[in-house]
Amino acid sequence: MSIHIGAKENQIAETVLLPGDPLRAKYIAETFLEGAEKYNDVRNMFGYTGTYKGKRISVQGTGMGVPSISIYITELMKDYHVQNLIRVGTCGAIQKDVKVRDVIIAMSASTDSQMNRITFGGVDYAATANFELLKKAYDTGVEKGLHLRVGNVLTEDLFYNDNSDFEKWAAYQILALEMETAALYTLAAKFNRKALSILTVSDHIITGEVTTAEERQTTFNDMIEVALDAVVK
Protein backbone atom coordinates (compact mmCIF):
# COMPACT_ATOMS: atom_id res chain seq x y z
CA MET A 1 0.00 0.00 0.00
CA SER A 2 0.98 3.64 -0.37
CA ILE A 3 0.65 6.29 2.34
CA HIS A 4 -2.92 7.28 1.42
CA ILE A 5 -4.19 4.27 -0.57
CA GLY A 6 -4.62 0.91 1.12
CA ALA A 7 -4.67 -1.31 -1.98
CA LYS A 8 -2.33 -4.15 -2.86
CA GLU A 9 -0.35 -3.41 -6.02
CA ASN A 10 -2.51 -5.48 -8.41
CA GLN A 11 -5.84 -4.26 -7.03
CA ILE A 12 -5.92 -1.06 -9.12
CA ALA A 13 -6.54 -1.09 -12.88
CA GLU A 14 -4.36 0.76 -15.39
CA THR A 15 -7.29 3.11 -16.13
CA VAL A 16 -8.77 5.10 -13.25
CA LEU A 17 -11.72 7.50 -13.15
CA LEU A 18 -11.22 10.34 -10.67
CA PRO A 19 -14.22 12.12 -9.11
CA GLY A 20 -13.53 14.68 -6.37
CA ASP A 21 -16.29 13.26 -4.19
CA PRO A 22 -15.62 9.77 -2.77
CA LEU A 23 -19.37 9.10 -2.71
CA ARG A 24 -19.40 9.74 -6.49
CA ALA A 25 -16.72 7.03 -6.70
CA LYS A 26 -19.07 4.68 -4.82
CA TYR A 27 -21.99 5.65 -7.08
CA ILE A 28 -19.93 5.05 -10.25
CA ALA A 29 -18.70 1.68 -9.00
CA GLU A 30 -22.18 0.52 -7.96
CA THR A 31 -23.96 1.87 -11.07
CA PHE A 32 -21.54 1.26 -13.93
CA LEU A 33 -18.93 -1.36 -12.94
CA GLU A 34 -19.52 -5.09 -12.82
CA GLY A 35 -18.12 -7.01 -9.87
CA ALA A 36 -16.79 -3.83 -8.24
CA GLU A 37 -14.71 -4.36 -5.12
CA LYS A 38 -13.59 -1.62 -2.75
CA TYR A 39 -9.80 -1.43 -2.43
CA ASN A 40 -9.53 1.74 -0.36
CA ASP A 41 -11.26 3.38 2.54
CA VAL A 42 -8.28 5.15 4.10
CA ARG A 43 -9.71 8.58 5.14
CA ASN A 44 -12.99 7.40 3.53
CA MET A 45 -11.47 8.33 0.16
CA PHE A 46 -13.11 5.35 -1.49
CA GLY A 47 -11.54 3.46 -4.38
CA TYR A 48 -13.09 0.54 -6.31
CA THR A 49 -12.10 -1.78 -9.16
CA GLY A 50 -14.52 -3.61 -11.45
CA THR A 51 -15.12 -4.10 -15.16
CA TYR A 52 -16.95 -2.06 -17.79
CA LYS A 53 -17.79 -3.81 -21.08
CA GLY A 54 -15.13 -6.37 -20.18
CA LYS A 55 -12.34 -3.85 -19.42
CA ARG A 56 -10.88 -3.58 -15.93
CA ILE A 57 -11.39 -0.07 -14.57
CA SER A 58 -10.92 1.61 -11.19
CA VAL A 59 -12.55 4.68 -9.73
CA GLN A 60 -10.83 6.67 -6.99
CA GLY A 61 -12.05 9.73 -5.07
CA THR A 62 -9.48 12.55 -5.02
CA GLY A 63 -10.91 15.09 -2.57
CA MET A 64 -11.06 18.79 -3.42
CA GLY A 65 -8.25 20.99 -4.66
CA VAL A 66 -4.72 20.71 -6.01
CA PRO A 67 -2.99 19.43 -2.85
CA SER A 68 -5.49 16.60 -2.37
CA ILE A 69 -5.66 15.33 -5.97
CA SER A 70 -1.86 15.63 -6.22
CA ILE A 71 -1.42 13.15 -3.39
CA TYR A 72 -3.80 10.56 -4.84
CA ILE A 73 -2.65 10.71 -8.45
CA THR A 74 1.04 10.71 -7.51
CA GLU A 75 0.52 7.51 -5.52
CA LEU A 76 -1.64 5.98 -8.28
CA MET A 77 1.08 6.60 -10.90
CA LYS A 78 4.19 6.00 -8.77
CA ASP A 79 3.08 3.12 -6.55
CA TYR A 80 0.30 1.51 -8.62
CA HIS A 81 1.58 2.21 -12.17
CA VAL A 82 -1.72 3.68 -13.38
CA GLN A 83 -1.50 4.70 -17.07
CA ASN A 84 -4.77 6.50 -17.88
CA LEU A 85 -6.30 9.03 -15.49
CA ILE A 86 -9.68 10.59 -16.22
CA ARG A 87 -11.18 13.17 -13.91
CA VAL A 88 -14.99 13.19 -13.82
CA GLY A 89 -15.77 16.39 -11.97
CA THR A 90 -18.07 19.37 -11.62
CA CYS A 91 -17.40 22.99 -12.51
CA GLY A 92 -18.93 26.47 -12.47
CA ALA A 93 -19.46 28.09 -15.90
CA ILE A 94 -18.39 31.67 -16.62
CA GLN A 95 -19.31 31.97 -20.34
CA LYS A 96 -22.84 33.08 -21.17
CA ASP A 97 -23.19 30.39 -23.85
CA VAL A 98 -22.07 27.57 -21.53
CA LYS A 99 -25.13 26.25 -19.71
CA VAL A 100 -25.66 24.18 -16.59
CA ARG A 101 -25.70 20.48 -17.47
CA ASP A 102 -23.30 21.01 -20.40
CA VAL A 103 -20.32 18.66 -20.44
CA ILE A 104 -16.91 20.30 -20.82
CA ILE A 105 -13.75 18.53 -21.96
CA ALA A 106 -10.76 20.44 -20.62
CA MET A 107 -8.18 20.75 -23.41
CA SER A 108 -5.97 22.78 -21.08
CA ALA A 109 -6.04 24.27 -17.60
CA SER A 110 -4.89 27.67 -16.43
CA THR A 111 -4.37 28.03 -12.70
CA ASP A 112 -3.82 30.45 -9.84
CA SER A 113 -2.24 27.60 -7.86
CA GLN A 114 1.43 28.06 -6.99
CA MET A 115 2.06 24.38 -7.77
CA ASN A 116 3.64 24.81 -11.19
CA ARG A 117 5.53 27.97 -10.30
CA ILE A 118 7.06 26.12 -7.34
CA THR A 119 7.94 23.21 -9.65
CA PHE A 120 9.31 25.33 -12.52
CA GLY A 121 11.03 28.11 -10.56
CA GLY A 122 8.46 30.84 -11.20
CA VAL A 123 7.87 30.02 -14.87
CA ASP A 124 4.37 29.12 -16.17
CA TYR A 125 3.69 25.59 -17.46
CA ALA A 126 0.90 24.92 -19.99
CA ALA A 127 -1.11 22.07 -18.44
CA THR A 128 -2.53 20.12 -21.40
CA ALA A 129 -4.81 17.10 -21.89
CA ASN A 130 -3.70 13.92 -23.63
CA PHE A 131 -4.90 14.28 -27.22
CA GLU A 132 -5.72 10.59 -27.75
CA LEU A 133 -8.02 10.49 -24.71
CA LEU A 134 -9.49 13.87 -25.63
CA LYS A 135 -10.34 12.76 -29.16
CA LYS A 136 -11.90 9.49 -27.97
CA ALA A 137 -13.99 11.33 -25.37
CA TYR A 138 -15.07 13.98 -27.86
CA ASP A 139 -16.05 11.38 -30.48
CA THR A 140 -17.95 9.39 -27.82
CA GLY A 141 -19.84 12.48 -26.64
CA VAL A 142 -20.77 13.45 -30.20
CA GLU A 143 -22.03 9.91 -30.87
CA LYS A 144 -24.23 10.23 -27.77
CA GLY A 145 -25.64 13.52 -29.04
CA LEU A 146 -24.34 15.52 -26.07
CA HIS A 147 -23.82 19.27 -26.03
CA LEU A 148 -20.06 19.19 -25.52
CA ARG A 149 -17.68 22.10 -25.06
CA VAL A 150 -13.91 21.75 -25.41
CA GLY A 151 -11.46 24.38 -24.18
CA ASN A 152 -9.47 25.99 -21.40
CA VAL A 153 -10.64 25.84 -17.77
CA LEU A 154 -9.35 27.60 -14.67
CA THR A 155 -8.11 25.47 -11.77
CA GLU A 156 -8.55 27.66 -8.69
CA ASP A 157 -7.10 27.20 -5.23
CA LEU A 158 -10.01 29.02 -3.59
CA PHE A 159 -13.65 27.99 -3.99
CA TYR A 160 -14.63 31.15 -2.09
CA ASN A 161 -12.40 33.76 -3.72
CA ASP A 162 -12.96 37.48 -2.94
CA ASN A 163 -10.47 38.52 -5.64
CA SER A 164 -11.41 36.38 -8.64
CA ASP A 165 -12.03 38.49 -11.78
CA PHE A 166 -14.49 36.22 -13.62
CA GLU A 167 -15.02 38.74 -16.42
CA LYS A 168 -11.31 38.88 -17.19
CA TRP A 169 -11.03 35.08 -17.27
CA ALA A 170 -14.16 34.87 -19.46
CA ALA A 171 -12.71 37.47 -21.84
CA TYR A 172 -9.68 35.17 -22.23
CA GLN A 173 -12.06 32.30 -23.18
CA ILE A 174 -11.91 30.29 -19.96
CA LEU A 175 -15.04 28.13 -20.05
CA ALA A 176 -15.42 27.25 -16.38
CA LEU A 177 -13.87 27.12 -12.91
CA GLU A 178 -12.88 24.00 -10.98
CA MET A 179 -10.09 23.00 -8.62
CA GLU A 180 -7.97 20.05 -9.84
CA THR A 181 -7.32 19.78 -13.60
CA ALA A 182 -4.04 21.75 -13.80
CA ALA A 183 -2.50 19.44 -11.21
CA LEU A 184 -3.79 16.33 -13.00
CA TYR A 185 -2.33 17.36 -16.37
CA THR A 186 1.00 18.51 -14.95
CA LEU A 187 1.61 15.43 -12.83
CA ALA A 188 0.49 13.07 -15.60
CA ALA A 189 3.09 14.73 -17.85
CA LYS A 190 5.74 14.31 -15.14
CA PHE A 191 5.10 10.55 -15.05
CA ASN A 192 4.51 10.33 -18.85
CA ARG A 193 0.94 9.06 -18.39
CA LYS A 194 -2.32 10.00 -20.16
CA ALA A 195 -4.81 12.32 -18.50
CA LEU A 196 -8.11 13.98 -19.31
CA SER A 197 -10.61 16.03 -17.36
CA ILE A 198 -14.32 15.81 -18.19
CA LEU A 199 -16.54 18.19 -16.26
CA THR A 200 -20.28 18.66 -15.79
CA VAL A 201 -21.42 22.26 -15.33
CA SER A 202 -23.15 22.18 -11.93
CA ASP A 203 -23.71 25.93 -11.56
CA HIS A 204 -23.35 29.19 -13.47
CA ILE A 205 -21.22 31.81 -11.76
CA ILE A 206 -22.62 34.72 -13.82
CA THR A 207 -26.33 33.84 -14.07
CA GLY A 208 -26.56 32.11 -10.67
CA GLU A 209 -28.32 29.12 -12.27
CA VAL A 210 -27.82 25.83 -10.43
CA THR A 211 -28.75 22.22 -11.19
CA THR A 212 -31.16 20.23 -9.07
CA ALA A 213 -29.86 17.05 -7.46
CA GLU A 214 -31.88 14.99 -9.97
CA GLU A 215 -30.52 16.91 -12.97
CA ARG A 216 -27.01 16.56 -11.62
CA GLN A 217 -27.46 12.80 -11.48
CA THR A 218 -28.54 12.58 -15.14
CA THR A 219 -25.75 14.77 -16.45
CA PHE A 220 -23.20 13.00 -14.24
CA ASN A 221 -24.31 9.78 -15.91
CA ASP A 222 -23.71 11.33 -19.37
CA MET A 223 -20.23 12.44 -18.33
CA ILE A 224 -19.36 9.09 -16.74
CA GLU A 225 -20.54 7.18 -19.82
CA VAL A 226 -18.40 9.44 -22.03
CA ALA A 227 -15.38 8.63 -19.84
CA LEU A 228 -16.07 4.89 -19.71
CA ASP A 229 -17.00 4.45 -23.37
CA ALA A 230 -13.96 6.51 -24.42
CA VAL A 231 -11.55 4.21 -22.56
CA VAL A 232 -13.06 1.02 -24.01
CA LYS A 233 -12.93 2.45 -27.58
Ligand X SMILES: O=P(O)(O)O[C@H]1O[C@H](CO)[C@@H](O)[C@H]1O
Q: Which of 15, 70, 90, 111 binds ligand X (CB under 6 A)?
A: 90
Pick out residues in 38-67 that bind ligand X (CB under 6 A). 64
Residue among 40, 68, 111, 202 that touches ligand URA (CB under 6 A): 202
Could you tell me the smallest distance in angstroms from the CB atom of residue 32 to ligand URA?
A: 22
Is there a binding annotation on residue 216?
no
Q: Which stretch binds ligand URA (CB under 6 A): 3-11, 123-131, 198-206, 220-228?
A: 198-206
Catalytic residue list contains 203:
yes
Buried b (16+ CB within 10 A) or exposed e, 31-45: ebbeebebbbeeeeb
Instruction: Tell whether residue 102 is a contact of ligand X (CB under 6 A).
Output: no
The only residue of 100, 105, 179, 226 in contact with ligand URA, by rule CB under 6 A: 179
Residues 2-21 interacting with ligand URA (rule: CB under 6 A): none
Looking at 41, 124, 203, 222, which residue is catalytic? 203
205 binds ligand URA (CB under 6 A): yes
Sequential DSSP letters for 97-147: T--TT-EEEEEEEEE--SHHHHHTTT----EE--HHHHHHHHHHHHHTT--
**Contact with ligand URA (CB under 6 A): which of 18, 91, 103, 146?**
91
- Residue 179 is a binding residue for ligand X (CB under 6 A): yes
* Residue 24 assigned ligand-binding role: yes
Nearest approach in angstroms of CB 221 to ligand URA is: 18
Q: Which of 15, 19, 47, 75 is close enough to bind ligand X by CB under 6 A?
A: 19
Position 182 contacts ligand X (CB under 6 A):
no
> Smallest distance, Å, CB 125 to ligand X?
19
Question: Can you give the binding site for ligand X, defined by CB under 6 A?
Answer: 19-21, 64, 89-90, 159, 178-180
Catalytically active residues, by annotation: 203
